Amino acid sequence: MTADGRGGPGPVRETAGARTTMNARKKKDDKATLGFWRENAEALTFAVIMALVVKQFAFEAYNVPTQSMEPTIIGRDVGGARLIANKFTYMLKDPERFDVVIFQYPLNRLLNYVKRCVGVGPEWLFVRGGDLYRADYDLDRAAALAAAEVVRKPLEIQEILFDQGSCIPPAERAIDSFRRHWKPVDPVAGGSLRLNEEEGLVTADGRTSPVLQRFVTEVPDYLIAGIENAKPEDYAVNNRRNDDWSQRGEDRGIFSRFLGLPSASESPERSRNFVPVGDMRLELSVRPTAAAGTVRLEIRDWSHPEAIVLELPVAGAGARGALTIGADRVEIGTQLPVGDWTELALLNYDDHVVVKVDGDVVLERDYSHAIPPAQAPTLNDSQVYPFPEERLPSEGELRHGENTALWGIAGGAADFRDFDLARDIHYLESSTEIKIGDSGDPRRDYASVPQATDFHIPARHYLMLGDNSPDSLDGRAWMRSELRYRNDDGELVVYEGDSQAVSDAPTRPNINPYVDAESGETRFLDVFGNTRVLDPARIEKVGFVDAEGKPAETQARVRFGNLVSRDFVQGRAYFVFFPILQIGIIR
């Protein structure tokens, strides 16, 4: 009963024991709450520390906004590749030749670049005829040129580069476009050739006279205009891009770019950068239909005086196959079975020939020739402004004949399909096209930059070049501005920076120091990414003799800054994780 006589519980009195129990429970709840926050704070702190450690020492993500490494790495302002760099690799070893490396740009250390490492000091490295040649570091330049040997890429890497270097545009790879790229060597006396578009093959009958087809391609007049004695057939295999991301690819919207679908390059085609490429891979599949005849694959390299010829007999023909490079002839025991498809590949790269049958290497052979003459000034890291005028070699110095590939059959008949012709990277010597604006007018948005060709690379230094050689601002063209300036105390200080004031801004002044268009201030972008406002009257000008032999002055001395120190190496480009359709390991 309650105090008023009603039923129910009476008043509750808190006893000392109950008070102690409630306090204990409250402290326990407070401790649990504190423990929850403490545990989560510790976990969060640990996660942040681990993320920083992983970023600093193991893996880091990067965005690629430019096209200098295409088609190995697709670079776009919108839809460009996102990749992960493996930093741990170079904690255990130094970069190796042909690694794809991420590094701080030496002339603006706020920027990270991705390029392929092609020169590893200590050594001399020369760019000639699209290839790389090396010699010992201790030699003088003349002796190094005399002793230089071609640098050969590992076959695994070379195959990947060939896969990306198609000579046939995407829209013309079906059998119904066969005659756009393959023409008979002798259209009158040659044997018969019939297209079967339904089955996607061609049938060649060379029993009465040989069938021999050569690769041809359209060469716009503007690409060879001004080149002495230039003939389109000399440029059948050239450095014009035909991959799915080239300028000749299909234009797509932003959404497709985010997915990683092929989209056309924004870089212009320039005749200044149009050259023949003799390093190529010819592939096809053949099915002999009679027990007679010999199948022929041939590569004609503009830089080599002799054709590279592969001849393989059909089983039952009673002959042996052979690879012939000029006077060098090597027999091959392979015979082609009647009625069965056989995949054939003939590779010519870096003065090296590989024969593959059904994907297996059956023969490798080296050959050699003198290092080709320079096609441009032999600039190097000691060269200063003004640069020497370009020198183009004479026809006799370079051209040995046409630059193309051929295939066919003699004395028998066979079906052919799966034609493919690909070319290697061709490192340009003359100049590179760099983007300097976004006006939409290529005449204003792109500029030609002279390139170095000879590199004296000391230990712990590297030469980094882009795979997209015509549109790559890389170690061939990096130039350092050295500016002498009187500070407020009257002391003479030297500022260094990129000669074009390269930064992450959408446009660049293309000169350093430069006058800001809005403020009218004279500015200098230094190697640390700092923009310094200068008084033009305090700049110590540099005198030189111009091309006409007259004395002149410039605000800054310009030198080549070609090399990357080991200290600037960040990591190895390892994996593309975005866009979705481009996910894969980088080689």
At 499, list the tokens.
């000669």
Name the percent of the chain in helix, strand, coil, to the closest 5: 20, 35, 45
Look at residues 225, 165, 174 and name the one whose alpha carbon lies nearest to residue 197. Answer: 174
Average pLDDT for 192-197:
94
The pLDDT of residue 432 is 61
Average pLDDT for 362-373:
89
Helix (H) or strand (E) holding 361: strand 360-366
Number of H helices, E strands in the chain: 9, 37
Q: What percent of the chain has pLDDT over 90?
A: 53
Look at residues 457, 423, 585 and name the one whose alpha carbon lies nearest to residue 117. Answer: 457
The pLDDT of residue 1 is 36
Helix (H) or strand (E) holding 51: helix 16-57
In this structure, how many other beta carbons lie within 10 angstroms of the beta carbon of residue 227?
15
Task: List the end-to-end C-alpha distance of the chain, in Å, as a whole number.
Answer: 89
Q: Does the pLDDT at position 400 exceed 70?
A: no
Find residue 578's DSSP bridge partners. Answer: 82
Q: How far is CA 197 from CA 206, 339, 420, in A?
A: 20, 19, 17
Average pLDDT for 72-90:
87
Q: Does the pLDDT at position 259 exceed 90?
A: no
Could you tell me the pLDDT band of residue 317, with boundaries at 50, 70 and 90?
confident
The pLDDT of residue 51 is 43
Q: Across all residues in the chain, what is the average pLDDT?
A: 83
Q: Give the angle 395-378-233 at the CA atoms, nearest 5°.
A: 30
Q: Does the pLDDT at position 96 exceed 50?
A: yes
Of the two residues 489 and 29, the one the predictor is more confident about is: 489
Rounded CA-CA distance 362/365 in Å is 10
Look at residues 145, 72, 49, 77 and name the one whose alpha carbon lies nearest to residue 438. Answer: 77
The pLDDT of residue 14 is 46
Q: Does the pLDDT at position 468 exceed 80?
A: yes
Could you tell me the pLDDT band of residue 384, with boundaries at 50, 70 and 90?
very low
Q: What is the DSSP letter of 370?
A: P
Sequence-ordered list of residues with C-beta below 8 angstroms from that of 100, at least 6 positions apart, any chain: 69, 72, 73, 114, 115, 116, 117, 572, 573, 586, 587
Asked if 492 and 485 touch (Cβ cutoff 8 Å), the reply is yes
Find residue 427's DSSP bridge partners. Answer: 130
What region, left, alpha or beta, does residue 405 occupy, with left being phi > 0 and alpha being psi -120 to 50 degrees?
Answer: beta
Average pLDDT for 482-489:
94
Average pLDDT for 242-258:
78
> What are the tens digits of pLDDT across the range 504-546?
887 788 889 999 989 999 999 999 999 999 999 999 998 876 6
Average pLDDT for 463-471:
93
Rounded CA-CA distance 499/515 in Å is 14
Could you tell me the pLDDT band of residue 264, with boundaries at 50, 70 and 90?
confident
Of the two residues 573 and 11, the one the predictor is more confident about is: 573
- Backbone CA torsion sign across 465, 469, 472, 473: positive
Of the two residues 586 and 392, the one the predictor is more confident about is: 586
Q: Give the angle 38-39-44 at the CA atoms, nearest 5°.
A: 95
CA 209 to chain centroid, in Å, comes to 43
Rounded CA-CA distance 260/76 in Å is 11
The pLDDT of residue 123 is 97
Least confident of 16-25, 235-244, 477-486: 16-25
What region, left, alpha or beta, does residue 176 occupy, with left being phi > 0 and alpha being psi -120 to 50 degrees?
Answer: alpha
- By the 10 Å C-beta count (0-12 exposed, 13-18 middle, 19+ buried), 468 is classed as buried
Q: Looking at beta carbons, which pairs linking 306-314 to residues 24 or more positions away fall under 8 Å?
A: 308/346, 308/348, 308/353, 310/344, 310/346, 310/355, 312/336, 312/344, 312/357, 314/288, 314/290, 314/338, 314/412, 314/414
Q: What residue type is 422 in one-letter code?
A: A
CA 65 to chain centroid, in Å, comes to 14
The pLDDT of residue 515 is 92
Q: What residue type is 354 in one-letter code?
A: V
Least confident of 40-44, 401-405, 530-534: 40-44
Asked if 442 and 448 touch (Cβ cutoff 8 Å), the reply is no
The pLDDT of residue 577 is 87
Architecture of the domain spanning 62-149+430-472+566-585: Ribbon (2.10)
Average pLDDT for 206-225:
88
Average pLDDT for 467-484:
91
Q: What is the DSSP letter of 219?
A: -
3-state DSSP call for residue 479? strand
Average pLDDT for 1-27:
46
Could you tell me the pLDDT band of residue 143, with boundaries at 50, 70 and 90?
very high
Q: Does the pLDDT at position 53 exceed 80?
A: no
Rounded CA-CA distance 212/197 in Å is 20
On the CB side of 415, CA atoms within 13 Å amount to 17
Residue bearing tokens 């975005």: 578
Q: Does the pLDDT at position 463 exceed 60?
A: yes
Of the two residues 262 and 536, the one the predictor is more confident about is: 536
CATH superfamily for 161-245+273-423 is Exo-inulinase; domain 1 (2.60.120.560)
Average pLDDT for 120-145:
94
The pLDDT of residue 587 is 83
The pLDDT of residue 38 is 54
The pLDDT of residue 389 is 43
> What are the tens digits of pLDDT across the range 168-188?
988 888 999 999 999 999 887
3-state DSSP call for residue 516? coil
Asked if 565 and 90 touch (Cβ cutoff 8 Å), the reply is no
Average pLDDT for 216-221:
86
Q: Does the pLDDT at position 392 exceed 50?
A: no
Residue bearing tokens 């030609």: 448
The pLDDT of residue 436 is 52
Of the two residues 468 and 220, the one the predictor is more confident about is: 468
> What are the tens digits of pLDDT across the range 107-131?
999 999 999 999 999 999 999 989 9
Sequence-ordered list of residues with C-beta below 8 angstroms from that of 66, at least 6 positions apart, any chain: 75, 80, 435
Prior bond of 579 cis (ω within 30°): yes
Domain ranges of the chain: 16-57, 62-149+430-472+566-585, 161-245+273-423, 479-560
In this structure, how many other beta carbons lie within 10 angstroms of the beta carbon of residue 236?
26
The pLDDT of residue 335 is 95
Least confident of 42-46, 255-259, 307-311, 362-366: 42-46
**DSSP strand pairing (123-128 vs 108-120):** unpaired
Average pLDDT for 405-420:
96
The pLDDT of residue 41 is 59
Q: Does the pLDDT at position 16 exceed 90?
A: no
On the CB side of 54, CA atoms within 13 Å amount to 10
Could you tell me the pLDDT band of residue 220, with boundaries at 50, 70 and 90?
confident
Look at residues 75, 123, 61, 66 and name the one whose alpha carbon lies nearest to residue 97. Answer: 123
Q: Does the pLDDT at position 270 exceed 80?
A: no
Q: What percent of the chain has pLDDT over 70?
A: 80
The pLDDT of residue 563 is 95
